Structure 1
Amino acid sequence: MLFGVSRASFALASLGLLAAPFVLPTDGEVAPDEDLPMVSRPLNCIPEGGRVERAAASSVLCASMCQHLSGLAFIFSGGLCDMRGVGLGQNLKSQTFARFHASNSTLLQDVSRGKPVEATLAYYGEVASKAVDDDMATMYHSANDISSPWWLVDMQDFHLVLAVDVLTRQDATSYRFHDIEIRVGTKPRIGQDFSTWALLGEYQGPYTVAEGRLNFTSDSGLCGRYVVIHKTSTDTDHLQLRDVKVYVQRP
């Protein structure tokens, strides 16, 4: 269950297929209605991670707990305060919560351009930004003798990620693209372990040029801020990314 509704219902709401008659609270108090997500700021989606559940006598007390724990969202239902995105918000002295407005858009947009990117050490100037520069003559290329290389983009806000489109190097070395995981995270990386991030897709490979662009998709989407392309094998084959696009639900 997600905030007291089924995953299917939440996915439909996230895609704008369910009505969301939300109202704003006044004077910093939370609306008394139960079983509806409340958010601390406008969000494109509600992350599933950072979940904390505690007993509460009212929605106002639930909001207070969520604020104290720097949470992004909560739902109060039957005396239970279900908080999400704990630790991802701001611990402010006062906070007004509003009902979550799911986007009704069925359109996708690429949010990879102009965003901060990082990766494992690059080979002779073929840095992380080369994977999102719209130049098919450049690419990100990991350095020699590195196992499990990765590439990451920070979307700078939470988005419902529905697809990641990847083009690797298109020549005789394309076989190096194998054992790939695409994951979506809500918190900044710690080291190079992405195993706790939600898995969007995976590719065993090895890749051949005839496959063209690879598209990794999620029917209901994954809510997060970071997207990583991680080569998980322990060999030292390079990670080579000619072009990457990250498609999210348009707000």
Structure 2
Amino acid sequence: MKLLTRMAIWAYLMTWAASSIVYNLVGHPHQSPSFKEDINTKTKMICAFQCRSRLCTAFSFEDGLCRMYNIGEGDGTYPSSNVASYKTSQDNFFEAASITRSSVYIYNNVPYDGENAIDGDVTTYFHSAVNDMNPWWCLELSEPAMVKTVRLFPSIKLLFHIRRFNNIEVRVGMNPPNGGDATMNPLLGYYAGPYDNSSCCSVDITSATPVEGRYIHIRRISVPGDETLVFVEMQIFS
């Protein structure tokens, strides 16, 4: 599989000084970082969460030092969950290390591969191969994250794509899954469906409490004649 080296998922980055990167929380105008507060955290994701909880607008993280800027000037909120704001608002801080999948559908020599699900392009989508009776997709993060919600954008390109978006199981954990078997990791949630697009483009699969993990495993429990896993994009929220 293709390695997604340093691919940021929904992160907006800018360079601030030669040795550090400042990450801007979504929805805030570009402004000079000031009013900083330093705390120690284990990961960049936890630093991002602390920044949001303090209503800061930007942060940097290096060697366990979390530096937060413009505290009290942010609003701590995410944009609404529609496709337009998703395309223009890159609002997550997680980075991908690799993507694996059970299979890939190829049509007219075009593969509908796993990377399509995190490319930020709602015109592309991941599609497992026809007759794949145990379709799954797995994202390995570059570092562990506390995950509360996985947001999936079903494909509405074709009617059978909509009809097949059901029986979706999402597991999150620290253990590498064994192909389609991710039972060694906690169940984040299950979406029975059917999907009717009433939520305008996305489905949230949420746990009552955040789950720590490095692997995000999405599996569709298929039945004969109703195979394949298809979705456009995936987002993670802590």
TM above 0.5, yes or no, is yes
Match of 1:172 in 2: 159
Q: CA deviation at 1:232?
A: 1.9
SS of residue matched to 1:129: helix
Aligned pairs for 1:1-251 within 5 A: 42-43=42-43, 104-105=50-51, 106=53, 110-111=92-93, 114-124=96-106, 125-170=111-156, 171-173=158-160, 174-211=162-199, 212-235=201-224, 236-248=226-238
Q: Percent identity?
A: 25
Deviation at 1:209, TM superposition (A): 2.7
**Shift of residue 43, structure 1, vs aligned partner:** 4.8
Distance 1:178 1:163, change over 3 A: same
User: Residue 165 of structure 2 contacts residue 229 of structure 2 at CA under 8 Å; is this kept in 1?
Assistant: yes
Give ranges in structure 1 of 5+ residues lacking alignment. 1-23, 25-40, 47-100
Note the C-alpha offset of 1:220. Answer: 2.4
Q: Is the 8 A contact 1:178 1:205 kept in 2?
A: yes
Which SS does the other structure have where 1:209 is aligned? Answer: coil
SS of structure 1 residue aligned to 2:232: strand
Distance apart, 1:219 and its partner CA: 3.6
- DSSP-derived class of the 2:213 partner: strand
Contact 1:112/1:153, CA 8 A, preserved across alignment: no
Q: Which has the larger radius of gyration?
A: 1
Closer, same or farther: CA 191–229 of 1 in aligned 2, 3 Å: closer
Q: Deviations over 1:50-98 (max 9, x none)?
A: xxxxxxxxxxxxxxxxxxxxxxxxxxxxxxxxxxxxxxxxxxxxxxxxx
Aligned residue for 2:81? Answer: none
Q: Distance in 1 between matches of 2:194 and 2:180?
A: 23
Q: CA RMSD in A?
A: 2.8
Aligned length: 156
- 1:19-53 CA-partner distances (Å, limit 9, x unpaired): xxxxx9xxxxxxxxxxxxxxxx935799xxxxxxx
Q: d(CA) in 1 for partners of 2:92 and 2:184?
A: 24
The equivalent of 1:62 in structure 2 is none
TM-score by length of 1: 0.55
Within 2, Cα distance between the matches of 1:153 and 1:175? 24
- SS of the counterpart of 2:116? helix
Is the strand fraction higher in 1 or 2? 2
Find the aligned partners of 2:189 and 2:183 in 1 and give their Cα distance. Answer: 13
**Which ranges in structure 2 are unaligned for 5 or more consecutive residues?**
1-39, 54-75, 79-90
* Deviation for aligned residue 1:112: 5.4
Residue 56 of structure 1 corresponds to which residue in structure 2?
A: none
Letter in 1 for 2:177: R
Q: 1:151 to 1:136 in 2, by over 3 A?
A: same
1: CA distance between counterparts of 2:45 and 2:92? 16
Q: Could you tell me whether the CA contact under 8 Å between 1:112 and 1:245 is conserved in 2?
A: no
Q: Is the 8 A contact 2:150 2:237 kept in 1?
A: yes
Mapped contact 2:140–2:215 kept (Cα < 8 A): yes
SS of residue in 2 equivalent to 1:116:
strand
The 8 Å contact of residues 113 and 133 in structure 1, kept in 2 or not, is answered as no
In the aligned structure 2, how far is the partner of 1:112 from the partner of 1:42?
A: 14
Residue 102 of structure 2 contacts residue 179 of structure 2 at CA under 8 Å; is this kept in 1? no
- Cα distance, 1:120 vs structure 2: 1.3
